[in-house]
Structure 1
Amino acid sequence: MLIAITRLPEKAGRDAALCAEFGHECYTVSPLRAELIEDAIARFVAEANQGAFDCIFFTSALPAEVIAPKLSLPDGVRSVAIGPQTARTLARHGIEAETLPSFYSADFAPYLGEWLAGRRVGIPRAAVPNPGLLEAIRSAGGEACEYPSYHLVPSGEALDTGRADAVLFTSASSFREARWTRRPGQVVAAIGRVTAAAMEEIPPDVVGDGSLAGTLAALNRWTEEESTHA
């Protein structure tokens, strides 16, 4: 299949290579663009390098790409990536990060558990509220230090999805802001349950596990089942 994947261009990373591993081709469509908040990024980097945090939670590949090259973290600081692409981005810049087992920010506090008590967590992320994450850290006895590092701004452009066999939405925001028309027979996929929950208008045929690899695997299983029933 040819898959249109909703991404910030800066986050496309290994999308093409990963799709090829699953027998597909892909291209990026961008219903959103990122505007960096430079002063917040500089403040976070300065505080992180001074040892202000016991743990840093990278919730996407974009802040990892922008911030990691500027970090010189003291020993003992834990780095946690929300998913494998973010972890790979950090690794390219010399930061070995743990990866959440299920790729959702809601799983961050349960993953760290009792370790969070008395610890400060630095979170450079999009300027999109996530009160559940902050409250979960506080409930575990930790201190959540959030740094809105970029704005997500609707591109306002009609997406080039008509030639794609499948359209894969990677976030709830990308679906809500997308200007596109589903053509007959086109497969629609959500990268995970949070994105799928936002897609009531066009329920997805395929729902992944929160990662691109898991979504591609689910797409292949769905395709096999459809061909069996045809």
Structure 2
Amino acid sequence: MKIAITRLEDKAAGDRSLCASYGHDCYTVSPLRSEVRMEKVAAFVEAVHRGEFDCLFFSSALPAAIVGPRLERWPRVVAIGPKTAEVLGEAGIEAEVLPSFYSRDFVPYLGDWLRGRTIGIPRADVPNPALLDAIAGAGGVVREERIYALTPTGTELALDDADAVLFTSAMSYREARWRPRDGLLLVAIGEITADAMRAGGHPPAVVGDGSLAGTLEALKRHGQVRP
């Protein structure tokens, strides 16, 4: 199967080899582009070096790749998934990994430790009020630094040769320009993306666990039960 995967161009590393391990080919389609705000990056790194945070939370691999190599010291570090932890590891930073690929699990994972602690989160300029409210509700203090913006490319996704399109985030689905067609398998990387697709009138046939590997496993199971 040939799978079109919505990615930022700088987040696609490893997709093709992982897809090949499941017997598929894949390529990147980019409904969004990232615009890094270097002054925000510098401000966040300086705050880390001043010891202003008790914990850093990296909710995707891109901020890990931007911030990680610039850190000379750091507090407790939590990554949303193994890929993000791997990127941090390349910068010499050992990170704990959440038990699932969703930021909603950050507060339950830290539990009572959060009370009175300050959490630093470098992230995209995309609101996540549920996470902020959860941290505050657990007695923590959160400081976000929106170190990059995500803007629509405005380019129609090249899906003519694809057997499936895999949307990797709710925003990548909502901002994508594309044309559904018969025979194109719709895939969501996780439940949040799937909810956005259902709300938009394009319910996915396959829903992953929030990771590419888990989505490919779900696709494998889907293939096994299809008539």
Offset from partner CA, 1:13-72 (integer Å, 9 cap, x none): 211121122221111100000011111111000111221111100011111111100001
Q: For 1:40-189, list aligned pairs within 5 A.
A: 40-74=40-74, 77-189=75-187
Opposite residue 217 of structure 2, the aligned amino acid is A
Measure, in 1, the Cα distance between the counterparts of 2:213 and 2:164.
15
Give the corresponding residue for 1:219: 219
- CA positional deviation for 1:183: 2.4
Give the corresponding residue for 1:191: 189
Q: Is the 8 A contact 1:162 1:182 kept in 2?
A: no
Offset from partner CA, 1:148-202 (integer Å, 9 cap, x none): 1111100000111121111000000000111111221111100000000001211
- TM-score (ref. length: structure 1): 0.95
Measure, in 2, the Cα distance between the counterparts of 1:186 and 1:194.
21
Report the 3-state secondary structure (helix = DSSP H, G, I; strand = E; otherwise coil) of the residue aligned with 2:197. coil
Q: Is the 8 A contact 1:162 1:181 kept in 2?
A: no
Opposite residue 148 of structure 2, the aligned amino acid is Y
> What is the aligned-residue identity percentage?
59
Measure, in 1, the Cα distance between the counterparts of 2:76 and 2:159.
40
Give the corresponding residue for 2:5: 5
Q: Structure 1: give runs of 5+ residues left out of the alignment.
A: none
Measure, in 1, the Cα distance between the counterparts of 2:76 and 2:13.
24
Q: Structure 2: give runs of 5+ residues left out of the alignment.
A: none
Measure, in 2, the Cα distance between the counterparts of 1:95 and 1:22.
30
Measure, in 1, the Cα distance between the counterparts of 2:11 and 2:225.
31
Report the 3-state secondary structure (helix = DSSP H, G, I; strand = E; otherwise coil) of the residue aligned with 1:34. strand
Measure, in 2, the Cα distance between the counterparts of 1:25 and 1:54.
42
- CA positional deviation for 1:88: 1.2
Measure, in 2, the Cα distance between the counterparts of 1:98 and 1:125.
18
CA RMSD, aligned part only?
0.9
Q: Is the 8 A contact 1:126 1:149 kept in 2?
A: yes
Measure, in 2, the Cα distance between the counterparts of 1:206 and 1:82.
22
Offset from partner CA, 1:91-133 (integer Å, 9 cap, x none): 1111111111111011110111111111111000011111110
Report the 3-state secondary structure (helix = DSSP H, G, I; strand = E; otherwise coil) of the residue aligned with 1:199. helix
Opposite residue 222 of structure 1, the aligned amino acid is H
**Is residue 19 from structure 1 mapped to residue 19 from structure 2 by the alignment?**
yes
